[in-house]
Amino acid sequence: MGIPQRVPLTPEQLKAHKKSIALCHGAACMVELERVFGTRESNALERMIDGKDARLNEDGEARWSRKYDRYLKGSVPKDITVMRAERVAIAMGRPTHLRHWRDNTLWALLAEPGPSLGQVRSLMAGLPPVVRKEIYFLAEYDPRGRLLRQPFSRNGAIRLRDLWSLDAFVGLLALAREGEILEDDPQQALSARCLFEMLPRVLLDNPPLRAEWHTLYQILETVLWRRAYHGGAIVNAFTLQDAEFGLQAVAEDRNARLPWTAGRLSACEE
């Protein structure tokens, strides 16, 4: 069963959640294209990336595919578009991270209902070493050749939080989803708290995620911060107003200590 939502989501809400992820996903790709090519105007991008000009209809009027406009409605680039964008960007001397934003593990972990336990663990195994070392014993393997897992600990979660990177954010999101599936309240709740604390810095450091950040907050709230724990316990909610406060505070002072901090490393924890 896992750790349930406080209020079960209706089919309509689940459909809206999926649409919201697509919206953030497509917008992130568009922001990256704009960073590299200096525009988000679909016709201009089609000329620059695809090398195409408008087709004329029988009345001599220009007709464009408007394919790039669709990214702002939840579509994402196909492989051929990514490859073309990469080739043109390199020729311009401004390499693009479009593939990174299209294929980021973040999007799969935001699904609701979430991915299976096997899928979550497979996504974990693909994270960068700096993140995996807080989840696995990197030099130890089980009889099947798989890395051995470290026990989840508060200090491990805090060390991931203190990386303040998108990769660490994704790692903690994976731990939260694993905890949700396993009904491990402490793992899910602490990971979720650290994620809320990280959110302002992750948004500030990753402009593609800021494009639709209110929508992204709502997605994360659904996935992380609306859970009912064992015995019906409810951990204090993290609201949009809290997120806005945190974003403003961290924008003014990168080292701002937010009221909902998970704290510092514990010297007594083994």
The pLDDT tens digits for 220-243 are: 999 999 999 987 777 767 999 999
Task: Name the pTM for this structure.
Answer: 0.92
pLDDT reading at 32 higher than 70: yes
pLDDT reading at 268 higher than 90: no
Alpha helices in 38-165 (DSSP H): 42-50, 79-92, 98-103, 105-109, 117-125, 129-132, 154-161
What is the average pLDDT score of the chain?
91
Q: Are 115 and 177 spatial neighbours (Cβ–Cβ below 8 Å)?
A: yes
Q: Which of 10-24, 50-64, 81-95, 129-143 has the lowest mean pLDDT?
A: 50-64
pLDDT reading at 63 higher than 70: no
Percentage of residues in the chain having pLDDT higher than 70: 91
pLDDT reading at 186 higher than 80: yes
pLDDT digit string (tens) for 197-216?
Answer: 999 999 999 999 999 999 99
At 146 the pLDDT is 73
Instruction: Provide the token pair at 10.
Output: 């209706």
For the residues 31-37, what does the mean pLDDT come to?
97
pLDDT band at 56 (very low <50, low <70, confident <90, very high): very low
Instruction: Say how far apart CA 10 and CA 82 lie, in whole Å.
Output: 35
For the residues 29-53, what does the mean pLDDT come to?
92
Cis peptide before 129 (omega within 30 of 0): no
For the residues 31-60, what does the mean pLDDT come to?
82
Q: CB neighbours of 226 closer than 8 A, spacing ≥ 6?
A: 5, 6, 7, 237
Q: Are 26 and 75 spatial neighbours (Cβ–Cβ below 8 Å)?
A: yes
pLDDT reading at 270 higher than 70: no
Torsion sign across C-alpha atoms 100, 103, 108, 110: positive
At 148 the pLDDT is 85
At 54 the pLDDT is 55
